[in-house]
Amino acid sequence: MSPHSQPSAMSWEAFKALVRERAQHWRVFGLPGRWQVLQELKELQRLQEALGADARPASDRFPILYLATLDDGWGHGLDVIEAAARAVGVRTVRLGLLCSAEHILDACRRRPPDVLGLTILHAETEPIVSAVVQGLTSGVTVLAEGPVFGIPTLRHAPA
C-alpha cells in the first residue's frame, strides 16, 4: 500500500480489491510480524473510513463480531482479529480476556452477534468452548483459533 494513496478517489470496489490483494500477498508470502500486520490493517481501516459513508455500504449490512479469550490474559490474537475486522467495516465488540462461559453467553443472549470469535490457548478449555457453543442461539457462527488447534507454518517474504 502506498502512503500516497488517494482514498477520496477510491471506490468501494477498488477498496475491496486492495483488501483481496493484501490477503493474497499474506497467503503467498506468509504474515509479517504482528506489529507490521497491525500497521497494515490500520492503513486499510484509514482508507476504508476515508471513503465516506456515501461510498461504503451501510454499517448495518456488516456482521457483528464478538471477541473473547477463554484462557488468554494478553489478547494479542484479539488485537489482530479486531483490527482486521474493523479494517473492512465489520462491527466488533470485545467481550474481554479470560472470559467465563457465563459472561460470553450473557452478552450473546442480550444481543446475539453474527459471529463469535474465541481465542483458545489450552486444550483444557474444551469444556468451556462446548458450553458456549451449546448455549448459543442458532444462527451464531463460532470461529475459534489458537495453538491448541495447531500452529500453521508461516513463510516470510525474502528480504
Report pLDDT for 14: 95
pLDDT digits (tens, 9 = 90+) for 30-82: 989 999 999 999 999 999 999 988 889 988 899 999 999 998 888 888 899 99
pTM above 0.85, yes or no: no
**Cα angle for residues 127, 91, 103 (degrees, 5° grid):** 30
Whether 102 has a pLDDT exceeding 90, the answer reads: yes
Amino acid letter, residue 101:
A
Which numeric CATH code is attached to 58-148? Answer: 3.40.50.280
| pLDDT tens string 81-92 | 999 999 999 999
> Is the pLDDT confidence value at 125 over 80?
yes
Q: What is the pLDDT of residue 153?
A: 36
Residues 26, 28: Cα–Cα separation, whole Å = 5
The secondary structure of residue 123, as a DSSP letter, is: G
pLDDT for the residue numbered 8: 52
Q: Where are the domains of the chain?
A: 7-56, 58-148
Q: Which residue has the higher pLDDT, 133 or 156?
A: 133
